[in-house]
Amino acid sequence: MSPAKINLMLRILGQREDGYHNLQTLFQILDWGDDMTFQQVNQNGQCQIRITGFNDVPEEQNLIHQAAQLLRPMARKQSDWLIDVNKRIPQGAGLGGGSSNAAMTLLMMNGYWDCGLCQERLLQLGNQLGADVPLFIHGRAALAGGTGNELISCQFDTPWVLLLLPDIHISTARLFQHNDLRRNQQCIDTALLHHQDLWINDFFPLLLSIDQSLRQLYQQLHHLNPVRLSGTGSAMFVLCKSRAEAEAAQSQLPQGLRSVVVQAKAAHSTGVEKNQ
């Protein structure tokens, strides 16, 4: 499985000279995401891959393709592969779907092509593809700094998550470039990181102010408290102590809103989707 992630907290500490932003964020990996299958189609080939499961993403823009291209020069086995993806993670949701797919490709093809790269080298390659890719190579919940790529393993008391997946695509670049984005947050001391009342997302008030459809949906969720935003996308979530609590909240969602109840990855449970 190629898992999704949520940002339990996302603070923007400042903009760097290179245009990127320094962040302090808490990542939780979920035990739910895309299914990826890798099938060898030619044992003696040219390190070619074919990707299926995407209808609207040109191959050269697909992070799976880009990840494979990074590995090809280091391959010691020249096999060709078919990579099929059953997408569950929506694009533009802030759940890291493309980054997760790229990380899974780096991890799997590193072995299949006998590249022999250590995790540190894979993390470096992942960082070339996107700020979230190292998280999925890291494979564990983490506190992240820098652009989100400086990772320290953590554990959080977030056993169950109700994911809310509105059919709204959000442009990350547009949000980062917006003049109203707050860019001067203070870094939270590590001793306070488990205080959930400090788990804010600086993009949430901005997104609610500029996206009417998301704002209207959020207003319908006032009985679920607190509703949080993941990353820079449209996906929202509610943290719950038990599956029963999460399913009770799910039963109260507006008609037509896609949702899924999942556990954190460490809990090793399978999510069950629901369309209201």
Q: Is 70 annotated as a binding residue?
A: no
Q: Is 91 annotated as a binding residue?
A: yes
Which position has the token pair 């096999």? 79
Give catalytic status of residue 241 as yes or no. no
Q: Is 269 annotated as a binding residue?
A: no
Type of residue found at 136: F
Q: Is 145 annotated as a binding residue?
A: no
Q: Is 99 annotated as a binding residue?
A: yes
Gap between the Cα atoms of 130 and 157, Å rounded: 27
Q: Is 90 annotated as a binding residue?
A: yes
Work out the end-to-end distance of the chain between its first and last CA atoms, rounded to an integer number of angstroms.
25
Q: Is 95 annotated as a binding residue?
A: yes
Among residues 31, 34, 132, 202, the one annotated as catalytic is 132
Q: Is 45 annotated as a binding residue?
A: no
Q: Is 68 annotated as a binding residue?
A: no
Q: Are 182 and 12 in contact (CB under 8 A)?
A: yes
Q: Is 146 annotated as a binding residue?
A: no
Residue 132 burial by CB count (10 A; 0-12/13-18/19+): exposed, middle or buried? buried
Q: Which of 91, 94, 90, 89 is nearest to 203 (CA)?
A: 94
Q: 15 forms bridges with which residues in the sheet? A: 21
Give residue 75's Cα distance to chain centre.
Answer: 28
Among residues 5, 34, 87, 265, the one annotated as catalytic is 5
Q: Are 262 and 164 in contact (CB under 8 A)?
A: no
- Beta 80-86 vs 49-52: how paired, if at all? parallel
Q: Is 58 annotated as a binding residue?
A: no
Give catalytic status of residue 34 as yes or no. no
Other beta carbons within 10 Å of 71: 21
Provide the annotated binding site for ATP.
90-100
Provide the annotated binding site.
90-100
Q: List residues with catalytic annotation.
A: 5, 132
